[in-house]
Amino acid sequence: MLVGYADSEVWQRLVLQMCHREPAVCHAVVALSAFHENYERSSMNMEPKPDHRHHHYALEQYNRSMAMLRRRIQSNDPQVRSITLMCCVVFVILELLEGDYTNAFAHLHQGLNILKTQSTHQALTTERILAKAFLQLNTPRAYWNGPDVVVTGHPPKGSVSEVAYSKTPIHSIAEAKERLRVLMNNIFHLQSLCNLFFRGEPEDSTSTTPLTLSAKQTTLHHDLTDFALDLKSFISSHKSNTAWTLRETRSVDVILTHVATLTSMLGCSLDTTELGYDDFLPEFTRINELCERITTSFVTEYGSYENLPTMVTDVGVLPSLFWCCVRCRDAETRERALQLLKMWPHREGFYDSYLIVGICRGLMDIEEEGRDGEGFIPREARVHTHTVEVAEDRRSMVIRYVLAGAGGGEQERVVVLE
């Protein structure tokens, strides 16, 4: 069974409703279920795809869904858009389980293109829910540079666009998640603008200046601060009325984890020295504490580490622990983040803990070589930007990186995956 960090409108309500009346969606979900069972059996060991009945059955259901969807698209039914979008979401998750990033990106882009053809206020309720699911998939996808397994330390050009943000009241966890999701997207967009500017490749050379970037940073800082205060008020008011369930507590902890992550990310978006991250050690420590608590809540729910899910439908601990390992230079804190990544092998959307552990270990080893006798990593030994290309057999990766204080340009290192 696919699970999430919290209840999901898409997976717990919308999919079930559409399965009963739409054969294309039904076959897509059956295929996803079979692929997921196959994925669970492989236990994240990254072995070649096993050739057994589950895999053949999954492919058969996948092909049936695609065929029915093609026939459905030719009709004039106004529900076709929602059906296609729902199938696209399922297909993205399905292809990620298969490790096929090329097809996953293709389905994601297809869904995004469909959503662009109609304004949000004209969309049906179903489409609005699915639009949120696509934003949730697309925002962290910014760190995956193209359909190949290439991970980048900064969102590349055009990978994420700014989304209109409004300071809506927080009366529920779902409303808090939605508001933060837009903020996260826009902070990633700022990161992309800053990276392109410092590389001499601004999206708009006339309007992108240090002053405009600083103004965007200030605006986003105010937005994030306001969100944190509103979230704190919501949590306080809820605690005085009724107790949180296990899932509600976990969902709030995930939101708090992302706030801590975005705080350090936003605070250093204009810092090219990498030294500014040292001021955010409390946030990195907080990330570790919250991620450990989140993982423990899953262990409580599932009984043991061995029973933990290997696929989670929404983003939770992986990007934050990844960020902590890469940007925190306190040896004990970043090593703790790495151990937390190893404790629970799983996937969250485009994030794969197996690959993340390898990337983090490689980058940490590069920087550890420059740590001085007092335990400090100087600017010239800190990795500022990096891209990671994973071999097709998933047994090794090439890390290409530029040090913050180096004038020697890009370097590279091959890392053998365990």
Domain regions of the chain by residue span? 1-145
Percent of the chain with pLDDT over 90: 49
Which sign, positive or negative, has the C-alpha torsion 364, 187, 295, 93? negative
User: Residue 47 pLDDT > 70, yes or no?
Assistant: no
Tell me the backbone φ, ψ of residue 304, rounded to 5 degrees.
-165, 165
In this predicted structure, what is the pLDDT of residue 140?
62
Residue 69 to residue 62: CA distance in whole angstroms: 11
pLDDT tens digits for 112-133? 888 888 655 545 778 888 888 8
Residue 371 to residue 382: CA distance in whole angstroms: 9
**Structure tokens, 397:** 């990766």
User: Residue 94 pLDDT > 50, yes or no?
Assistant: yes
Q: What is the mean pLDDT of the chain?
A: 86
Mean pLDDT of 189-202: 83
With bands split at pLDDT 50, 70 and 90, how would you rate the model's confidence at 280?
very high
In this predicted structure, what is the pLDDT of residue 175?
93
User: Residue 156 pLDDT > 60, yes or no?
Assistant: no
Q: Lowest-confidence range among 49-63, 173-187, 376-390?
A: 49-63
With bands split at pLDDT 50, 70 and 90, how would you rate the model's confidence at 39?
confident
Under DSSP, is residue 165 helix (H, G, I), strand (E, B) or coil?
Answer: coil
Residue 311 to residue 292: CA distance in whole angstroms: 18
Q: Lowest-confidence range among 5-9, 92-96, 288-292?
A: 5-9
With bands split at pLDDT 50, 70 and 90, how would you rate the model's confidence at 157?
low
With bands split at pLDDT 50, 70 and 90, how would you rate the model's confidence at 404?
very high
pLDDT tens digits for 322-362? 999 999 999 999 999 999 999 999 988 888 899 899 999 99
Percent of the chain with pLDDT over 70: 86
In this predicted structure, what is the pLDDT of residue 153?
56
Pick the more confident residue, 185 or 254: 254
In this predicted structure, what is the pLDDT of residue 265?
95
With bands split at pLDDT 50, 70 and 90, how would you rate the model's confidence at 321?
very high
Q: From residue 360, how far is each of 28, 148, 151, 289, 342 by CA, in Å? A: 35, 19, 12, 19, 11
In this predicted structure, what is the pLDDT of residue 49?
52
Specify the DSSP element, H or E, that contains 351.
Answer: strand 351-352
Mean pLDDT of 394-410: 85
Strand-pair partners of 413? 399
Query: Which of the given ranges, 180-189, 196-205, 361-370, 403-412, has the highest pLDDT on average?
Result: 361-370
Query: Which of the given ranges, 51-65, 174-188, 194-208, has the highest pLDDT on average?
Result: 174-188
In this predicted structure, what is the pLDDT of residue 147?
43
pLDDT tens digits for 229-260? 999 999 998 866 678 889 899 999 999 999 99
**In 159-313, which ranges are E strands?**
311-312
Pick the more confident residue, 139 or 404: 404
**Structure tokens, 314:** 């929404």
CB atoms within 10 A of CB 242: 8
User: Residue 149 pLDDT > 50, yes or no?
Assistant: no
In this predicted structure, what is the pLDDT of residue 363?
96
The model's pTM is: 0.86
